[in-house]
Chains A and B, each alone.
Chain A
């Protein structure tokens, strides 16, 4: 479609390359835009995300549903304002048919409204902000990871019922992701008769966890929700303070994510966590996925890699349904929401009607196998929804999880 401005631009013969080429021909490439982070603190996650999607493309020979794929990666620098500009660039300049990514929740929230307005299918492969699939729905949005609290709900039940913990202290990164993870755990743990003695919040860039660790005593366990390298630093210090072996640590998925687990040592052993994936899952799909990704990166895949790889799988399923017509955005997003992914390394999953996966949640325990640490699966909660066992309407009527919801103690 040409608007007045583009016609004028054409008249001025400034840039013919900017026009959207009518891509009806089947051999024209499907253009997939990825919002990644290549600089700054989030760059590790960004790289793992790219690795995951690149592996998917490599396995498919760069062809989905009979059409070649053009994969365009843009660097958001981990800044919401830049993320928005990058998204506009991918949509308006590169004319991508869909967007995969980004790494962080605030990036996804910054571009969500724009992509809804531009009507571009948005396959969110990692950002876990609850409201993206709850109270701020965008009809063009699906997510292939989980909500923040989705794995923490079952962990709350597991801790109370199977581990028999009565009293727990929580410690988490003081930002939305950590707060939502903690809230989900607290809600279900308390509903099963447990009690939270205290909730500790450490700043994202905390250099030292000593002052927090010294507040931990007189409880059955510690629930830890950290992201990135923070999990590593917390666990190391927890060990140095001599608390390991005295008060066990249970954790959210990202604290002992495979992306950082390979940098950990004995301090991580025995930690029980809940997540929607484990590199230790013994299924044919996962074994080949882990093997392939290890060849590329040398380490086990984690949260970001699997999320992006799954985004590829869901996309493939949807594109096959619409016969490769990526230009039919409405058809594509409809097909995406109906996609059931059975060949995923994490196990089978499908989208709920809010665009969030209903998937297995694994209770995992860090063990040493050979020369590396793995999250061995010790229990599986089958097909868990983002609402756990609560009715969605009731769940959505309440405010979103935060530092003070559910209330402290």
Chain B
């Protein structure tokens, strides 16, 4: 059942460009993929590792700026720039992880917020490198492709790869250990697991995925400025994760879909789209506090068992006990 749905959604994603009426909508679909990937990176840490980060836009920004400077300012080939961005983005995550993981809980939230703001500050102030708040624009030749269709499939392929690897990671013993450290750190520690190292690995994996999304971000917008690194972007990603379903593999993608569609499509019809966004989040929190994906699954399961009259409406109707 689950794999059938997954297959169906993948098939839809593959033929989507031919169903959409124009490049504008294709661009929106590509944005959903990129923001979805970014939300997935936040979810690795928040959902599986139990550490909510408010500084993830920093990784997106480091990757995007590294790409823009390498490819745009210094004129290296796009693929060299991709390599440089991957290395520097992941290295930044490795360094930030050393600092942020000295804390947990609320302090972790605050320290990641501070680290994210530092990156923002550098992007804003180091004008010789980043061109300040005017940002860096990339021309046609400095990105991998500026054809909307190619970009869509590149983003889709990258997202699919990341999701497959991530699913394998979550199912691996290491993934189980990450979840174990989230739920029972003391017990895991007693069992002889090095909880710090496990958290650190989760942090770097998360930072790596955010780096990848940053590279895709700069491909589709061909522009990077400090706004992309702001706290708003970080917190929006957390919202996407919560709205879609924290700790689920595909939930963040749904959350990203909702936010991007509201921001870009709803705003064409109403000036009050931020209010609409707020109302929809309220609705999600009230109706399905565990998030859109698990919530829908629960409701569908409830309907299914109600249809099979007499079947006991038990576990499937209960909310996910881990819902936060």
User: Which A residues contact B (CB, under 8 angstroms)?
Assistant: 5-6, 8-9, 12, 14-15, 18, 38-39, 74-75, 77, 79-82, 84-85, 88-89, 92-93, 105-106, 109-110, 112-114, 117, 129, 131, 136, 175-176, 179, 402-404
Question: Is there a chain A Cβ closer than 8 Å to B222's Cβ?
Answer: yes
In whole angstroms, what is the CA distance A281 to B115 when docked? 50
A38→B274 CA distance, assembly (Å)? 11
Task: Decide if A106 touches B24 in the complex (CB within 8 Å).
Answer: no
Is B223 a contact of A79 with CB atoms below 8 Å?
Answer: no
User: Are A109 and B271 closer than 8 Å at their CB atoms?
Assistant: no
B112 CB-CB contact with A under 8 Å: no
Cβ of B127 and Cβ of A5 under 8 Å apart? no
Sample 18 A-B pairs with CB under 8 A, ordered by A number.
A5-B26, A5-B149, A9-B18, A9-B19, A18-B21, A18-B22, A74-B268, A75-B273, A81-B228, A88-B27, A92-B22, A93-B22, A105-B133, A106-B134, A106-B225, A109-B223, A113-B222, A402-B132
Asked if A14 meets B140 with Cβ closer than 8 Å, knowing A39-B271, A80-B225, the reply is no
A93 / chain B contacts, CB cutoff of 8 Å = 22, 24
Encode contact with A along B28-57: 1 for CB under 8 Å, 0 otherwise: 100100000000000000000000000000
Q: What B residues does A402 contact at CB under 8 A?
A: 127, 132
The answer to whether the Cβ of B187 comes within 8 Å of any Cβ in the partner chain is no
Smallest CB gap from A76: residue in B: B267
Structural contact, A85 and B223, CB atoms closer than 8 A:
no
**8 nearest CB pairs, A to B:** A92-B24, A15-B21, A18-B21, A9-B21, A110-B223, A176-B134, A93-B24, A175-B133
Q: At the interface, is chain B mostly helix, strand, loop or mixed?
A: helix
Q: How far is the CA of A89 from the CA of B21 in the complex (A)?
A: 12
Q: A39-B274, A75-B273, A109-B135 are in contact. List 11 more A-B contacts (CB 8 A).
A: A9-B18, A12-B19, A14-B19, A74-B268, A81-B223, A85-B264, A106-B134, A109-B137, A175-B132, A179-B132, A402-B127
Given A106-B225, A403-B127, check contact A82 B135 (CB 8 Å).
Answer: no
Compute how far the CA of A75 lies from the CA of B137 in the bound complex, rounded to whole angstroms: 21
B134 near A109 with CB under 8 A, answer yes
Q: Please, which residues of chain A bring their CB within 8 A of the CB of B21?
A: 6, 9, 14-15, 18
Quick one: given A38-B271, A176-B132, are A106 and B227 in contact (CB under 8 Å)? yes
Question: Nearest chain-A residue to B137 (Cβ)?
Answer: A113
A275–B138 Cα distance when bound, in Å, is 33
Asked whether B251 is an interface residue with its Cβ less than 8 Å from the other chain, the reply is no
**A65 CB, nearest partner CB in chain B, Å:** 28
| Chain B residue, CB-CB nearest to A39 | B274
Residues of chain B in range 196-239 having any CB-CB distance to chain A below 8 Å: 221-223, 225, 227-228, 232
**Chain A residues within an 8 Å CB radius of B221:** 80-81, 84, 110
Q: Which residues of A contact B134 (CB under 8 A)?
A: 105-106, 109, 129, 131, 176
Interface readout for B74-103 with A: 1 if CB under 8 Å, 0 if not?
000000000000000000000000000000
- Interface size counted on chain B using CB atoms at 8 A: 39
Task: Check B137–A112 contact: CB distance below 8 A.
Answer: yes
Complex alpha-carbon distance, A114 and B138, angstroms: 10
Q: Closest B residue to A16 by CB, please name it.
A: B21
B128 to chain A, nearest CB (A): 8
Check if B17 is an interface residue, CB within 8 A of chain A: yes
Report A-chain residues with C-beta under 8 Å of the C-beta of B26. Answer: 5
B20 at the interface (CB under 8 A from A): yes
Closest A residue by C-beta to B17? A5
Residues of A within 8 A of B124 (CB): 175
Name A175's closest neighbour in chain B (CB-CB): B133
CB contacts under 8 Å to A, within B1-31, are: 17-24, 26-28, 31
B177-205 contact mask (Cβ, 8 Å, vs A): 1 or 0: 00000000000000000000000000000
Interface residues of B in 264-283 (CB under 8 A from A): 264, 267-268, 271, 273-274
Bound CA–CA A89/B134 (angstroms): 23
In the complex, B324 has a CB within 8 A of chain A: no
